[in-house]
Chain A
């Protein structure tokens, strides 16, 4: 998928089946071969069983949860026991003395204050470089404490949905793009960091470090909506922070790669994905190449890697295989 298409889909365009001209020769051959040799459900199940021995694999999810908890606990512990490893909160911090600043918070402050602040330039560039290497929205799934709460709300939502007690009410994904622009304009026009007032990332991060406050009501309301009304309402459709980091991740070397060769196109990955539009290429006959990254909006959470029964989806560092 081209960078522009990947960005367009992230901004809200619905992915469509690529035109015939988009396919590489190898991909076209592969799709042809797959159409010629249909496997029966039993055969597919047997392959799945062989490759994906255990019924449930949570390798990446567990690594990710541990990382997320460790990062956030590091903030808490640093303050509680005055270790001074990571001072501040997720909006801005000093890590062993080095400035770090959240990209979206930096944007809000810069637009509201209308001044270039040297410490924020240093801090946000450090963070930009870090997530450029680590995959952009991997900030969301590997660091943002709200993401973890939202995952729990999602699990509850899915449980209730399976019993028919709740339904998912999807939004247009472009809403997030509109909100990103609106909050940028508001910061500039009002001179206040308007978005920070509802940012669940900032609120949860500060609540963990400095103690809970009334502001957690914002988080509670979001979580309740996500359980009873719209699956992953905030992270999927609204959060401007996600879009900011998505832009960073668009050209990131650390990504999830898709190899359609072994794929059965059963869609297990799309069912559990926060941003299933990035996995559109896993639909039968949609992959334009035999090896491709899955798109800017991907949070690199690894749920699809765990879920994929055939190993068609894998973490990779782009170009590393050629280097080694």
Chain B
């Protein structure tokens, strides 16, 4: 190349312009596609149940490095990663309590220990300190206990793949719900399988001692793990967990 740059031929000028436009177009597309991840966040109706120890939602999305180490350590494989529809939540872990609740099979909140960024807060030491949400009796009319009904058979049918650690079966190994049928005079599955002490109780409905109907009542210790939602034998579940809900004295 000489010291004085000769004028470029028109074809080269055209190609340079096109190259610039292509660069601007693809660059904008990449940024636009990435920013479109905001839409599901902005339009979100209901929050996801996040694994134990998750920071406040915005902080959680910011600090999660999307590696799935929490997924790998969970003994009941309750944790799943968000897909493209989650936008910025792509690769961020959540729990679908109805499909597979966190039953604290691991005791020491393994997902929290696995998290490299503290998106699942390392300040947590035991399951009682977890606050994922709160259980709520969503469909009182469907609740078997409120109708005074018992329950017989596997809680969610023979084909349900969900796991639970039954202390009385094996202290360390979770087994399928399908392998653990029940036979109870009055359905108390949500209370029976709740991993947190005093989080939920069955209370009489009326003053009549002969009335065997009971209603599940959620108390302050509830951590929102979703176990009651998974075990509830009605379809859909009578009791559900409101993700991120905080306890308020009634």
Contact = CB atoms under 8 A, between A and B. Distances in A.
B72 A192 contact: no
B91 interface: yes
Contacts of A79: 72
B37 interface: yes
A172 B19 contact: yes
B38 interface: yes
Interface stretch (B112-120, B189-197, B199-207): B112-120
A23 interface: no
Nearest to B35: A194
Contact of B34 (A87, A114, A194): A194
A292 interface: no
Contacts of A179: 27, 30-31
Contacts of B66: 89, 91-92, 105, 193, 196, 202, 206
Interface in A238-292: 238
Contacts, number: 160
B72 A88 contact: yes
Interface in B83-101: 83-85, 87-88, 90-91
B62 A91 contact: no
A50 to B, nearest CB: 35
Nearest to B55: A113
Interface residues of B, number: 44
A171 B68 contact: no
Given A94-B116, A115-B63, A210 B68 contact: yes
A233 B84 contact: no
Interface string B160-175: 0000000000000000
A91 B67 contact: yes
B139 interface: no
A186 B114 CA distance: 28
Contacts of B217: none
A112 B19 CA distance: 32
B226 to A, nearest CB: 20
Interface residues of A, number: 58
Contacts of A5: none
A113 B62 contact: yes
Interface stretch (A150-158, A213-221, A305-313): A213-221
B237 interface: no
A109 interface: yes
Given A192-B38, A193-B88, A198-B33, 7 more contacts: A87-B69, A89-B91, A92-B116, A101-B116, A106-B65, A120-B65, A171-B22
27 contacts: A87-B114, A89-B66, A91-B66, A92-B69, A94-B116, A109-B62, A113-B59, A119-B116, A123-B116, A172-B20, A182-B27, A183-B31, A186-B31, A186-B35, A192-B41, A192-B62, A193-B61, A193-B65, A197-B37, A197-B88, A203-B90, A210-B81, A213-B83, A215-B84, A215-B91, A233-B26, A238-B30
Interface of A: 16-17, 79, 87-89, 91-94, 99, 101-102, 105-106, 109, 112-115, 117, 119-120, 123, 169-172, 174-175, 178-179, 182-183, 186, 190-198, 202-203, 206, 209-210, 213-215, 217-218, 230, 233, 237-238
